[in-house]
Amino acid sequence: MTEKPRAADPAAAGSAPGGSAGAGQDAGEEPRVVIRDKRKLKTGERSGAAATAADAAADAPAEGLVEETEVVVDEIETEAPVSGPPVVDAPAEPTEEAAKPEAPLGAELEGVRAELEERTRDLQRVTAEYANYRKRVDRDRNLVQEQAIGTVLTALLPILDDLDRAREHGDLVGGFGSVAEQLTTALGKFGLTAFGEQGDPFDPTLHEAVAHQTSADVTEPTCVQVMRRGYQLGDRLLRPAMVAVADPE
């Protein structure tokens, strides 16, 4: 900043001591104005500023000869402080040539997609085959279990026939009758059911006719006598019932 001479203030001159003011004015010199710049200096500029201040102090006249008026300049920020996040330039938009994938990369991507579709089809086929396998295994397991139970129950049917004949003759009394009832109940838990009662309509798929006769009391072929009861295991026929059939006249 350039220092400019400024006229002396008369009031200031009157308030100064008489000898100093009179000597300065008699010598014909104007009062010196000193401007101090309180700007923030960088580290490299501080040494130069200190040297300049020292030279100015050496060149200043002795006290009492020249009146100095000090003018303080407000602090000036030489470097504006950074406020807020730094400004980052937006990335340039990709050009059409950069946006297009290269030919080798596109071919490799198509190959990966084709392989993925093939592996997906293989997985779906294996999943369907495994589901069918489980269904077939469950069906076979149930069939084997039913056949095993049917084989055991078929072997016990003659015993049940003896119990039926004993029941007809009134021999199932006391403890023997209780055992017969418990056996029948236990076999029923496995799905064994008996059929064939006198008066049932004749069914060739369930009954085995060993005798035929005519009767005016029936309107259709009817079982008039049951010689041996039949048994079923669920929907499976273990043994047909042996009956005598009466046909209408």
| CA–CA distance, 35 with 5 (Å, rounded to integer) | 11
DSSP state letters, 153-166: HHHHHHHHHHHHHH
Among the three residues 35, 56, 73, which one is the final residue of a domain in this structure? 73
Give the up-direction half-sphere exposure of residue 129: CA atoms within 13 A in the CB hemisphere.
Answer: 6
At 53 the pLDDT is 52
Q: How far apart are CA 87 and CA 217, in angstroms?
A: 113
pLDDT at 50: 53
CB 67 within 8 A of CB 102: no
* Angstrom distance (rounded) from CA 209 to CA 21: 161
pLDDT of residue 132: 95
- Tell whether 154 is covered by a domain: no
Could you give the CA distance from residue 143 to residue 137 in angstroms, rounded to a whole number? 10
207 within domain boundaries: yes
Alpha-helix residue ranges (DSSP H) falling in 169-202: 174-188
CA 155, 156, 159, 163: dihedral to nearest 10 degrees?
Answer: -150
Domain of residue 127 covers 102-149
Residue 181 has pLDDT above 60, yes or no: yes
d(CA 211, CA 190): 32
Instruction: Confirm whether pTM is higher than 0.85.
Output: no
Does residue 90 lie in a domain region? no
Strands 192-195 vs 230-233: parallel, antiparallel or unpaired: antiparallel
CATH code assigned at 214: 2.30.22.10
156 has pLDDT over 70: yes
Q: Which pLDDT tens digit goes with each residue over 72-94? A: 444 444 444 545 555 555 555 65
How many separate domains does the chain show? 3
